[in-house]
């Protein structure tokens, strides 16, 4: 089966449920430049991915070759996704691909996608139709087939139509198109909006009139992909309908340094506020080299009076190891009390089915020690399943009050630097507004990835936000100036700190 799937306008959240299902079935994904990269994550791990390019003036593969490729893959018995930007049948040449498959006698399905001609104006605050303003919309290509000799677009008819005109791929010919519409009778004062990368955090909108839009676009150096909207509906943007561009972090670029398995929560919250998120996981979480100490603790669980969790990773690793031994949470002795370092860890503990007895008001080891101080720990046995390498403050303080503390490695946090060169380039270019650090280990590994001498130069044009004082102290120890610390040492607390930092006084990029 060959699926011709429209990937939507760019925002991965606008991809269809059926599109996701088809991606999960595919042996091969054939994709375009405008198909959002995050959608490729829906493909099976072993699926082959073939990039066929197709940007203006630079086609990695001709349309005829793409048609041939799809036929060859289909004849080889593969399940294929042809992933195309927007909708396959709206200026996407999907009809030609469908014809090639039909002529070859191959089965195919077409899965529509949200076309950018509707989505980009919507995200720019422009309804393409509106009661009392425009009751029709016309979609027109601004880049016709150069081999057909003459234009088949009847500009005279379009000029005399009072409805909305939406141009695809026309920004390179905007001056010519505007002149033709004006000469055919359209008013020079007709509102126009050009929207680049619509629905994405880097969306940019330039507005004007038919008379001056070409000059404004040239001045703004607006390059494809651009959707152009011509008509009175453009004025509605100024009545408060530009909801997307009003988001507090719209246009901001924020780096998330958490492990990829944990980055999702912070990344999603930042994106919901309009930010472009660049994930640079400085940590990879993996099992410890030796499970012996943890397995020994699990065999003797009934000997412990307290189990203390200092991270979500510790909770998940502990629960997973129980399952590996054919056990569940009933193995945890009833007399054992459970402590969590913070609300996120406590929530995960409760999610796996345990009751939390103690959570400190301040989410760090020192505060957890204080919270436990009210308990008589002398002679008590305390289990702390945690990372192989971590601060020793908590075990040492507990031992000092007479507790027997067992600290088996439940997981390891090892350095990672995926995407290092790309991030380095963007930091040096001053394209990043904020780098976030969620633990001392993310700071240490960031420094390790780039080198201590290079970090100061890399971060000189951006702002730094840390989840709390311990992480901030680690950053300063590497001569990294910290611009914001979360008042509450949680992901929501860090999110608030980032928003406050990047929206204070309509802040411009930092230059130290």
DSSP letter, residue 44: -
Tens-digit pLDDT profile for residues 293-337? 999 999 999 999 999 998 888 999 999 999 888 887 777 888 888
Q: Tell me whether residue 153 is in a domain.
A: yes
Within this chain, do residues 210 and 264 fall inside the same structural domain, yes or no? no
Q: Tell me whether residue 246 is in a domain.
A: no
* Catalytic residue selected from 169, 380, 397, 433: 169
Q: Report the CATH number at residue 342.
A: 3.40.50.10090
> 260-269, long-range: CB within 8 Å, 24+ apart, which pairs?
260/284, 261/285, 262/312, 262/313, 265/491, 266/436, 266/438, 266/491, 266/494, 266/495, 269/491, 269/492, 269/495
Q: Tell me whether residue 512 is in a domain.
A: no
Q: Tell me whether residue 248 is in a domain.
A: no
Tens-digit pLDDT profile for residues 65-100? 999 999 999 999 999 999 999 999 999 899 999 999
Instruction: Note the pLDDT of residue 489.
Output: 86
- When comparing pLDDT for 172 and 149, which is higher? 172
32 is a catalytic site residue: yes
54 is a catalytic site residue: yes
Look at residue 375 and tell me whether its pLDDT is greater than 90. no
Instruction: Note the pLDDT of residue 112.
Output: 97
> Which range is least confidently modeled, 48-57, 115-124, 456-465, 472-481?
48-57
Within this chain, do residues 434 and 449 fall inside the same structural domain, yes or no? yes
Within this chain, do residues 103 and 142 fall inside the same structural domain, yes or no? no
Look at residue 151 and tell me whether its pLDDT is greater than 70. no
Look at residue 276 and tell me whether its pLDDT is greater than 60. yes
Instruction: Note the pLDDT of residue 508.
Output: 46
| pLDDT band at residue 148 under the 50/70/90 scheme | low
417 is a catalytic site residue: no
Q: Tell me whether residue 194 is in a domain.
A: yes
Percent of the chain with pLDDT over 70: 94
Look at residue 271 and tell me whether its pLDDT is greater than 60. yes
Look at residue 366 and tell me whether its pLDDT is greater than 80. no
| pLDDT band at residue 454 under the 50/70/90 scheme | confident
Dihedral angle sign, alpha carbons of residues 287, 289, 295, 301: negative
> Which range is least confidently modeled, 1-5, 9-13, 102-106, 506-510?
506-510
- Residue whose structure tokens are 């507004």: 433
> Please, how many CA atoms are within 13 Å of residue 376, restricted to the half-sphere of its CB?
1
* Catalytic residue selected from 11, 23, 54, 364: 54
Please count the structural domains in the chain: 4
Question: How are beta strands 204-209 and 337-340 bridged, if at all?
Answer: unpaired
Within this chain, do residues 462 and 500 fall inside the same structural domain, yes or no? yes
> Which range is least confidently modeled, 18-22, 372-376, 424-428?
372-376
* Catalytic residue selected from 11, 23, 32, 87: 32
Within this chain, do residues 392 and 499 fall inside the same structural domain, yes or no? no
* Three-class secondary structure of residue 119 per DSSP: helix
Dihedral angle sign, alpha carbons of residues 457, 463, 468, 473: positive
Q: Tell me whether residue 244 is in a domain.
A: no
Look at residue 145 and tell me whether its pLDDT is greater than 80. no
Instruction: Note the pLDDT of residue 490.
Output: 86
Tens-digit pLDDT profile for residues 29-53? 999 988 888 899 899 989 999 999 8
End-to-end C-alpha distance for the chain, whole angstroms:
57
Q: Which range marks the domain in which residue 67 is found? A: 2-114
Average pLDDT, the chain: 89
Instruction: Note the pLDDT of residue 510.
Output: 42
Q: What is the mean pLDDT of residues 448-454?
A: 87
Q: Tell me whether residue 143 is in a domain.
A: yes
Within this chain, do residues 406 and 291 fall inside the same structural domain, yes or no? yes
State the Cα–Cα distance between residues 363 and 470, nearest whole angstrom.
10
Q: Tell me whether residue 168 is in a domain.
A: yes
| pLDDT band at residue 419 under the 50/70/90 scheme | confident
Q: End of a domain among 62, 91, 114?
A: 114
φ and ψ at 413, to 5 degrees?
-105, 110
Tens-digit pLDDT profile for residues 8-36? 999 989 999 999 999 999 999 999 988 88
What does the block give as tokens for 145? 């087939």
Q: Report the CATH number at residue 50.
A: 3.40.1010.10
Q: How far is CA 43 from CA 27, 268, 397, in A?
A: 8, 20, 48
| pLDDT band at residue 512 under the 50/70/90 scheme | very low
Q: Report the CATH number at residue 157.
A: 3.30.950.10
The model's pTM is 0.74
Instruction: Note the pLDDT of residue 509.
Output: 42
Q: What is the mean pLDDT of residues 377-401?
A: 86
Instruction: List helix spans (H) across 336-488.
Output: 343-352, 365-372, 393-400, 420-428, 440-450, 452-458, 469-477
State the Cα–Cα distance between residues 300 and 28, nearest whole angstrom.
49
| pLDDT band at residue 360 under the 50/70/90 scheme | confident
**Closest to 298 (Cα-Cα) out of 320, 273, 265, 277:** 320
Q: End of a domain among 411, 435, 460?
A: 411
Within this chain, do residues 224 and 327 fall inside the same structural domain, yes or no? no
Instruction: Note the pLDDT of residue 9.
Output: 94
Look at residue 162 and tell me whether its pLDDT is greater than 60. yes
> Which range is least confidently modeled, 198-212, 296-310, 340-354?
340-354
Residue 293: in which H helix or E strand, if any? helix 292-299
């Amino acid at each position: 089966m060959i699926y011709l799937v429209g990937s939507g306008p760019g925002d991965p959240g606008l991809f269809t449920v059926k599109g996701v299902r088809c991606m999960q079935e595919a042996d091969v994904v054939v994709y375009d430049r405008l198909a959002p990269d995050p959608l490729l994550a829906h493909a099976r791990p072993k699926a082959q991915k073939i990039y066929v390019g197709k940007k203006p003036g630079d086609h990695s593969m001709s349309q005829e070759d793409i048609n041939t490729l799809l036929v060859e893959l289909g004849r080889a018995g593969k399940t294929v996704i042809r992933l195309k930007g927007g909708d396959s049948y709206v200026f996407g040449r999907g009809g030609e691909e469908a014809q090639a498959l039909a002529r070859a006698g191959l089965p195919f399905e077409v899965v529509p996608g949200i076309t950018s001609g509707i989505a980009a104006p919507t995200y720019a605050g422009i309804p393409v139709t509106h009661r009392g303003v425009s009751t029709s919309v016309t979609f027109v290509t601004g880049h016709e087939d150069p081999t057909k000799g003459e234009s088949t677009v009847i500009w005279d008819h379009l000029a005399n139509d009072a409805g909305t005109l939406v141009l695809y791929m026309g920004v390179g010919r905007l001056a010519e198109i505007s002149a033709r519409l004006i000469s055919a009778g359209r008013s020079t004062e007709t509102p126009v909006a050009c929207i680049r990368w619509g629905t994405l955090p880097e969306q940019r909108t330039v507005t004007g009139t038919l008379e001056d839009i070409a000059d404004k676009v040239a001045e703004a150096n607006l390059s494809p992909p651009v959707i152009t909207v011509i008509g009175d509906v453009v004025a509605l943007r100024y009545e408060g309908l530009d909801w997307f561009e009003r988001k507090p972090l719209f246009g901001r670029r924020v780096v998330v340094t958490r492990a990829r398995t944990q980055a999702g929560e912070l990344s999603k919250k930042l994106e919901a506020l309009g930010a472009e998120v660049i994930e640079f996981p400085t940590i990879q979480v993996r099992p410890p080299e030796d499970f012996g100490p943890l397995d020994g603790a699990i065999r003797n669980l009934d000997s412990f009076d307290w189990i203390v969790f200092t991270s979500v990773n510790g909770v998940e690793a502990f629960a997973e190891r129980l399952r590996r031994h054919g056990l569940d949470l009933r193995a945890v002795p009833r007399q054992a009390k459970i402590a969590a370092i913070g609300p996120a860890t406590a929530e995960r503990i409760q999610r796996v089915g345990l009751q939390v007895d103690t959570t400190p008001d301040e989410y760090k080891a020192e505060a957890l020690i204080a919270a436990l101080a009210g308990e008589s720990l002398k002679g008590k046995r305390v289990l702390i399943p945690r990372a192989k390498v971590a601060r020793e403050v908590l075990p040492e303080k507990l031992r000092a009050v007479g507790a027997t503390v067992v600290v088996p490695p439940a997981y390891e946090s090892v350095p990672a630097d995926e995407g290092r060169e790309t991030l380095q380039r963007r930091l040096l270019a001053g394209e990043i507004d904020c780098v976030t650090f969620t633990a001392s280990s993310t700071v240490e590994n960031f420094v390790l990835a780039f080198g201590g001498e290079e970090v100061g130069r890399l971060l000189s044009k951006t702002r730094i936000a840390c989840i709390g004082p311990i992480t901030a102290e680690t950053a300063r120890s590497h001569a990294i100036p910290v611009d914001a610390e979360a008042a509450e040492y949680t992901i929501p607390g860090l999110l608030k700190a980032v928003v406050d930092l990047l929206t204070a006084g309509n802040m411009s990029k930092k230059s130290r």
